[in-house]
Structure 1
Amino acid sequence: MILLMKMKGAANVLNGLKPVILMVLVQVLFTSTNVLYKLAINDGMSVKVLTAYRLAFAAAFTVPFALFSERNKRPKITWRVIFMSFLCGLFGGSLFQNLFYEALALTSATYVSAIYNLVSGITFVLAIAFGFEKLKLGEAAGKAKVFGTLIGIAGAMVLTFVKGMQINMPFHVNLLKNNNPSSQHHHSHSSNDLLGVVCALASCFSNAFWIIIQAKMIMEYPSQNSSTALMLTAATIQATIFAFCSERDLSQWTLGWNIRLLASAFSGIVGSGVVFLIISWCIKKRGPLFASIFNPLMLLLVGCCGFFHVG
């Protein structure tokens, strides 16, 4: 009996740690995606085209997965669900990714990742405003959420804006050594840096709105795999229309056996398909705030990528 109780307790601990492990994995996958994006952009690929391809790969992966995994338990799709899918696709897919990766192209991965840590604070405020979280400052849990959010944001800002001691490694790996001239103009004008800051801040608000809307959609349509597939399908349509309207150079749409195809496929299937499925599941299990508090980890991982000269 005692052994069974211990085994049950261990299983409960593992179940409790599962969302934490998955969200840490999400940050690792996001960081890998950012590195590949930076390499593709450095190769001269348009951010808008890359985002359209990414979402197309993501939809192509998640739609069959959702159809198979939830074939016998999928609720009826209503016009309200379709509208919420459109909003999720806009704020979490097409708009967010175009803003985030345009900021990445105009500034640096480290800077954008630092600004991205504002998402947890914005999400916290929105979650309270929409009733998904209670402030509860009189309780230890409420104080921990507030102070944890503030400390996470402050730590990320300090890490970004305070110049520390430089560590000289015995050897370096420069993945951007073959710089494309067309990508270098982004860093030559302060106006581009300012635009990058604006895009980064706007992407934070867009992502925070998506997390809140996604939490609401899961309540309305509890099949998270199908809701993710609907979201990515809507995002693909939006991003493709936007890219075709703004990028008239047809050579940008050509994919060969190169970094452009790798970045599009990996960021779509893994960086969006797998990641959004995980985030949707974690939001369903632990709420919208939980899904955003792991963002500071990405800054640390991107900082480590500075060794490869892509941060």
Structure 2
Amino acid sequence: MMVMETKGVLVGEVVPCMLMALMEFCTIGLTILASTVMSKGLSPFVFVVYTNALSSIFLLPYNTFIVSRNKREDLMSRFLLLGLVGVTMAQNLAFVGLSYSSPIVAIGMGCLIPSISFVLAVICRKTSVDLRSSSSQIKLMGTLVSVIGAMTLTLYRGPVVKDKDPSTHLQLAPPPLFVFLSQHENWVLGCLLFALASLSYSIWNIIQVILVDVI
């Protein structure tokens, strides 16, 4: 009996962490793919429409056939709010920011999401801060580190790495498979757009928690 309980606790703790790590890998892959596609001339707004149109094909049957009719009208209004915050605002801000920076900046600025979520939870009185508690101290330290990291990423880019002899490259070299830099680069603007996208994603996550409780 104790072995089964231990396995249940391990599954309950390990599986969510593994799924979150898998989601991070998928996010990194999507970010690099989006940067490569937009470098070919695709508008970030069109990219958002394409990706969400594909996801709607898979999610609409769930809302139509699985969710009960009594909850459907209430869920549709909540889904509309989720779409406004998490798609129209967050994704458009993020992909426009990506068009002005790089996937590395996108992943770095994404670290602001947990910190902003924590601050919003404190403001909305969904969580409390006890300076004598080790848990609260760690959360505050993590928030401070992520904010300092985002500011450093925005204000300090570092030296540009270039080839010593560019003439050695052929003029008709094949295009790169993955593109990590934008042709219309504006580092500060890209970081600011990512910060706003992180705020939208934090609000989006909070709304999702409320929606899951309703379902």
Q: CA deviation at 1:149?
A: 2.9
1:29-61: CA deviations, max 9, x gaps? 100100110111112111111110100101111
Match in the other structure for 1:42: 39
Whole-Å separation in 2 of the counterparts to 1:52 and 1:8: 45
TM-score by length of 1: 0.56
Whole-Å separation in 2 of the counterparts to 1:46 and 1:81: 31
Whole-Å separation in 2 of the counterparts to 1:75 and 1:116: 37
Identity of aligned pairs, percent?
Answer: 26
1:238-292: CA deviations, max 9, x gaps? xxxxxxxxxxxxxxxxxxxxxxxxxxxxxxxxxxxxxxxxxxxxxxxxxxxxxxx
Match in the other structure for 2:164: none
Query: Does the 8 Å CA contact 2:112/2:198 hold for their aligned counterparts?
Result: yes
The match for 2:110 among 109, 116, 122 is 116
Gaps of 5+ in 2: 162-174
Q: Note the 1:229-268 alignment, pairs <5 A.
A: none
Match in the other structure for 1:237: none
Whole-Å separation in 1 of the counterparts to 2:195 and 2:146: 17
Cα 1:129–1:40 shift into 2, 3 Å? same
Query: Does the 8 Å CA contact 1:99/1:202 hold for their aligned counterparts?
Result: yes
Match in the other structure for 1:262: none
Match in the other structure for 1:99: 93
Query: Does the 8 Å CA contact 1:107/1:193 hold for their aligned counterparts?
Result: yes
The match for 1:175 among 173, 177, 187 is 177
Whole-Å separation in 1 of the counterparts to 2:4 and 2:178: 50
SS class of match (2:125): coil
Whole-Å separation in 1 of the counterparts to 2:116 and 2:152: 19
Match in the other structure for 2:8: 11
Q: CA deviation at 1:10?
A: 2.2
Whole-Å separation in 2 of the counterparts to 1:25 and 1:119: 17
Match in the other structure for 2:51: 54
Match in the other structure for 2:145: 151
Higher RCO (C-alpha 8 Å, min separation 6):
1
Match in the other structure for 2:30: 33
TM-score by length of 2: 0.78
Give the superposed CA RMSD.
Answer: 3.0
Match in the other structure for 1:266: none
The match for 2:125 among 122, 131, 148 is 131
Q: Write the letter of the residue equivalent to 2:29.
A: S
Whole-Å separation in 2 of the counterparts to 1:75 and 1:155: 47
Q: Note the 1:157-168 alignment, pairs <5 A.
A: 161=156, 163=158
Query: Does the 8 Å CA contact 2:130/2:136 hold for their aligned counterparts?
Result: yes
Query: Does the 8 Å CA contact 1:42/1:176 hold for their aligned counterparts?
Result: no
Gaps of 5+ in 1: 167-172, 223-311
Whole-Å separation in 2 of the counterparts to 1:24 and 1:176: 22
Query: Does the 8 Å CA contact 1:41/1:47 hold for their aligned counterparts?
Result: yes
**Structure 1 residue 198 corresponds to structure 2 residue 192:** yes
Q: Write the letter of the residue equivalent to 1:45.
A: L
Q: How many residues align?
A: 200
SS class of match (2:61): helix
In the TM superposition, structure 1's runs of 4+ consecutive aligned residues that sit over 6 Å from their partners are none
Comparing 36-45 with 194-203, which one deviates more in the overlay?
194-203
